[in-house]
Amino acid sequence: MQFGQAKIEYKTNGQILKMREAGLVLAEALDTAVVAAQVGTTTAELDALFAGVLEKHGARSNFKGYHGFPATICASVNEEVVHGFPSGYVLADGDVLKIDGGAIVDGWHADSARTVIVGTADPADQRLSDVTQAAMWRGIAALANARFLGEVGDAIDEYVSAQDGEPLGILEDYVGHGIGSEMHMAPDVLNYSTGHRGPRVKPGMCLAIEPMLVRGSIETRVLDDDWTVVTTDGARASQWEHTVAVHMGGIWVLTAHDGGAAGLAPLGVTPSPLRP
């Protein structure tokens, strides 16, 4: 701790490259789980498929065993926002599933999440997921030129607030985070505006940017399993997340196969991969 705040870990280029290795394994594992997320599949089956990809590449899960968490992914359905347990739950047509997972390679972590709408999507649920995903990319794009980390939350908040139609709420109790030699590290990465600048953005920062949006109230509660977070009003939720590195040459989305090129191109930002 420094002046009452946790110290930020700044990574070397070599350490970022290790995180990229973890990020690519994680992207493949999420691809596999997303494809399998069909009507009739259980969330436990998705967990097993995800775990198999990690094992194939010799990577470890940073979720399983974390403070006693029992699985390799969080599988959160409909009003479950985050931290849901994979189980025998059978996915049904129209379910809004959030798959959140992580991987470790040689001690370095990656963390990413996607929303999947199973079967036929309710247009309002599809909009929820689309806006959440787009808000994540707005936050990542803001990081590319940000002087202070608070600009990420400002960009996300501004985008979400500008949407026409049904207002969407941005969760405030659950936010993004630093990542590196541990999964959850300083600093917090807020998804909303506070008026505070936050820490200065510097090369070597690696951050998990993960907005979570809901179709109703942002009030949540934790179920009796002490993990699963649900909306108190039963409104459906979406989560999207990428791990992003800041280095001397720019930013690099470590958990996207293309480094973030497709998501950032419409926003005028080009990711800068590091070379071994």
The reply, when asked if residue 177 is annotated as ligand binding, is yes
DSSP percent split of the chain into helix, strand, coil, nearest 5: 30, 25, 45
Which sign does the torsion angle of CA 150, 155, 156, 158 carry? positive
The reply, when asked if residue 184 is annotated as ligand binding, is yes
Cβ atoms < 10 Å from Cβ of 1: 7
Strand intervals (E) in the chain: 73-77, 80-82, 96-105, 108-117, 169-170, 176-178, 185-189, 206-209, 212-214, 220-222, 229-231, 237-239, 242-247, 250-253
The reply, when asked if residue 100 is annotated as ligand binding, is yes
Which sign does the torsion angle of CA 187, 110, 20, 212 carry? negative
The reply, when asked if residue 9 is annotated as ligand binding, is no
The reply, when asked if residue 111 is annotated as ligand binding, is yes
The reply, when asked if residue 67 is annotated as ligand binding, is no
The reply, when asked if residue 106 is annotated as ligand binding, is no
Query: How many Å apart are CA 158 and CA 167, to the nearest integer?
Result: 13
Feature table: binding site for substrate: 83, 184
Feature table: binding site for a divalent metal cation: 100, 111, 177, 210, 241
Feature table: binding site: 83, 100, 111, 177, 184, 210, 241
